[in-house]
Structure 1
Amino acid sequence: MTTIAPPQIRTICCIGAGYVGGPTMAVIADRCPDIQVLVVDMNTTRIAAWNDDDLAKLPVYEPGLDAVVGRCRGRNLHFSTEVDAAIAAADMVFIAVNTPTKTRGIGAGQASDLRWVEACARQVAKAAVGHTIVVEKSTLPVRTAEAVKAILEAAEDTDTTRSFSVLSNPEFLAEGTAIRDLENPDRVLIGGESTTAIHALAGVYGQWVPPEKILRTNLWSSELSKLTANAFLAQRISSINSIAALCEATEADVEEVARAIGSDSRLGPKFLKAGPGFGGSCFQKDILNLVYLCRHFGLPQVADYWESVVALNTWHQHRIAALVVQKLFGTVTGKRIAILGFAFKADTNDTRESPAIRVCRDLLEEGAILAIHDPKVDPDQIALDLGQPVGESWLHCDAVADAVTGADAAVILTEWQSYSELCWDALAPLMRQPAWVFDARAITDSLAVCLAGLNHWRVGCGMV
Structure 2
Amino acid sequence: MAPVTVKKICCIGAGYVGGPTCAVIALKCPHIQVTIVDLNQARIDAWNSSDFALPIYEPGLVDVVRQARGRNLFFSTDVDKSILEADLIFVSVNTPTKKSGVGAGFAADLNYVELATRRIAAVAKTSKIVVEKSTVPCRTAESMRTILEANSKEPEVKFQILSNPEFLAEGTAIDDLFAPDRVLIGSLQSQDGKDACASLAEVYANWVPKERILTVGLWSSELSKLAANAMLAQRISSINALSAICEATGANIDEVAHAVGRDSRVGPKFLRASVGFGGSCFQKDILNLVYLSESLHLPEVAAYWRQVVIMNEYQKRRFSKTVVDTLFNTITGKKIAVLGFAFKADTGDTRESPAITLIRDFLSEKARVVIYDPQVDEAQIWLDLSEAMPDVALEKIKAVVEIAPSALKAAQNSEAVVVATEWKEFTTIDWQDVYSTMNKPAFVFDGRMILDAEKLRQIGFKVTTIGRGERL
TM-score range, shorter chain: over 0.9
**Where does residue 286 of structure 2 map in the other structure?**
287
Alignment match of 1:192 (pick from 176, 187, 202): 187
1:205 and 2:201 correspond: no
Name which of 415, 438, 443 aligns with 1:431: 438
Cα shift at 1:423: 2.0
Aligned to 1:415: 422
Note the 1:55-454 alignment, pairs <5 A.
Answer: 55=52, 57-156=53-152, 158-193=153-188, 194-387=193-386, 388=394, 391-454=398-461
Contact 1:247 1:253 survives alignment (8 Å): yes
Q: Which residue of 2 aligns with 1:33?
A: 30
> Please, what is the CA RMSD of the aligned residues?
1.0
Alignment partners' CA distance in 2, 1:140 and 1:255 = 35
CA contact (8 A) 1:6 1:131 kept: no
Aligned residue for 2:351, secondary structure, equals coil
Cα distance in 2 between the residues matched to 1:298 and 1:391: 46
SS at match of 1:78: strand
Secondary structure of the 1:391 match is: helix
Asked if the contact 1:20–1:96 (Cα under 8 Å) also holds between the matched residues in 2, the reply is yes
Displacement of 1:6: 4.6
List structure 1 runs of 4+ shifted beyond 2 angstroms: 388-391
**How far off its partner does 1:422 sit?**
2.2
- What one-letter code is carried by the residue in structure 1 that aligns with 2:38? D
SS of equivalent residue, structure 2 residue 246 = helix
Residues 421 and 444 of structure 1 are in contact (CA less than 8 Å); yes or no, is this contact kept in structure 2? no
Residues 328-385 of structure 1 show CA distances to partners (whole Å, capped at 9, x for unaligned) of: 1111111100000000000000000000010110001100110100000011111111
Per mean C-alpha deviation after superposition, the further-off stretch among 208-217 and 420-429 is 420-429
**Are the counterparts in 1 of residues 121 and 147 from structure 2 also a CA contact under 8 Å?**
yes
- C-alpha deviation, 1:463, in angstroms: 5.7
Instruction: Give the partner amino acid of 1:32.
Output: C
Distance 1:279 1:432 in 2: 31
Q: How far apart are the structure 2 equivalents of 1:78 and 1:12?
A: 10
For 2:247, what is the secondary structure of its paired residue? helix
2:29 matches 1:22: no
What is the letter of the counterpart of residue 168 of structure 2? L
**Displacement after TM superposition at 1:78 (Å):** 0.4
TM-score (norm 1): 0.98
Would you say the 8 A contact 2:3–2:198 is kept in 1?
no
User: C-alpha distance in 2, partners of 1:186/1:32?
Assistant: 19
Q: Are the aligned partners of 2:232 and 2:270 in contact in 1 as well (CA < 8 Å)?
A: yes
TM-score where L is the length of structure 2: 0.96
Q: 8 Å contact 1:325–1:332 — kept in the other structure?
A: yes
Output the CA distance in 1 between the equivalents of 2:147 and 2:268: 44
Q: Give 1:199 shift.
A: 0.3
In the alignment of these two chains, the number of paired residues is 459
Question: Does the 8 Å CA contact 1:456/1:463 hold for their aligned counterparts?
Answer: no
Once the two structures are TM-superposed, the CA of residue 391 in structure 1 deviates from its matched residue by 2.4
Q: Distance in 2 between matches of 1:106 and 1:155?
A: 25
CA distance in 2 between partners of 1:145 and 1:223 (Å): 9
Contact 1:457 1:463 survives alignment (8 Å):
no
Cα distance in 2 for residues equivalent to 1:34 and 1:160: 31
Aligned residue for 1:69, secondary structure, equals helix
Query: Distance between the aligned counterparts of 1:357 and 1:273, measured in 2?
Result: 20
Q: In structure 1, what is the Cα distance between the partners aligned to 2:256 and 2:427?
A: 22
- The aligned amino acid for 2:156 is T
Deviation at 1:207, TM superposition (A): 0.3
The residue type equivalent to 1:34 in the other structure is H
Task: Tell me the secondary structure at the aligned position of residue 398 of structure 2.
Answer: coil
Gaps of at least 5 residues in structure 1 are: none
Deviation, structure 1 residue 135: 0.1
AA of the residue aligned to 2:93 = V
Question: Hey, what's the Cα distance between the residues in 2 that align with 1:183 and 1:325?
Answer: 44
- Counterpart secondary structure, 1:68: helix
Q: Percent identity?
A: 55
Structure 1 counterpart of 2:391: none
Asked whether the equivalents of residues 6 and 132 of structure 1 are also in contact (C-alpha less than 8 Å), the reply is: no
Aligned twin of 2:390: none
User: Hey, what's the Cα distance between the residues in 2 that align with 1:423 and 1:150?
Assistant: 60
Taking the aligned partners of 2:125 and 2:440, their CA distance within structure 1 comes to 69
